[in-house]
């Protein structure tokens, strides 16, 4: 993409902000995928005609084998990468069990003060700033 052109494809994505005792659940993007190696809040792409909350509940079950109570939307952002745009919706979530990474991805519970030290996708930058402030 050149000359300031914007990507023609925008992907709608949901992500879970799960906090327990001042620590946040994050997973690491696997090798071979867009933004590989970056840490992220678990979630994923919405299917056509799928609600944001249904998408997030499905993704948590698929990726972490855990049911969740999807709460309020706390932050939304749009970001253009060179090859695609993303519309990212972050929701507070309560897990209804113990998560386990079923796709082989790394998973960690990261203290609030350590979030900024991890490499997150650029689209997550403002949320990380908000969460770091408490």
Strands 68-80 and 43-45, by their bridges, are: unpaired
**1 domain residue, yes or no:** no
Q: Name the residue among 98, 86, 88 with its Cα closest to residue 18.
A: 98
Q: Output the pTM of the full model.
A: 0.88
Whether residue 18 contacts residue 95, with contact meaning beta carbons closer than 8 Å, is answered with yes
**19 domain residue, yes or no:** yes
Whether residue 39 contacts residue 115, with contact meaning beta carbons closer than 8 Å, is answered with no
The phi, psi pair for 9, rounded to 5°, reads -105, 130
pLDDT of residue 37: 84
pLDDT of residue 1: 42
**91 domain residue, yes or no:** yes
pLDDT of residue 62: 96
pLDDT tens string for the chain (134 positions)? 444 565 578 899 999 999 999 999 999 988 877 778 899 999 999 999 999 999 999 999 999 999 999 999 999 999 998 888 899 999 999 999 999 999 889 999 999 999 999 999 988 989 999 998 87
Q: Name the residue among 56, 44, 37 with its Cα closest to residue 106.
A: 37
**10 domain residue, yes or no:** no
Q: Could you tell me the residue range of the domain that residue 97 belongs to? A: 15-132
| Structure tokens belonging to residue 100 | 């386990």
Q: What is the largest CA-CA distance in the chain?
A: 48
CATH, residue 40? 3.90.79.10
**2 domain residue, yes or no:** no
Q: How many domains does the chain have?
A: 1
**40 domain residue, yes or no:** yes
């Amino acid at each position: 993409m050149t000359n300031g052109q914007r990507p023609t494809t925008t992907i709608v994505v949901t992500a879970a902000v799960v906090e327990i005792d001042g620590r946040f659940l994050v997973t690491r993007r696997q090798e071979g995928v867009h933004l590989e190696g970056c840490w992220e809040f678990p979630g994923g792409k919405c299917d056509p005609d799928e609600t944001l909350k249904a998408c997030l509940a499905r993704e948590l079950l698929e990726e972490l084998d855990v049911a969740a109570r999807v709460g309020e939307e706390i932050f939304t952002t749009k970001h253009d990468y060179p090859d695609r745009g993303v519309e990212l919706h972050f929701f507070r979530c309560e897990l209804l069990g113990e998560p386990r990474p079923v796709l082989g991805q790394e998973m960690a519970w990261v203290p609030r003060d350590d979030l900024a030290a991890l490499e997150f996708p650029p689209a997550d930058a403002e949320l990380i700033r908000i969460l770091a402030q408490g």
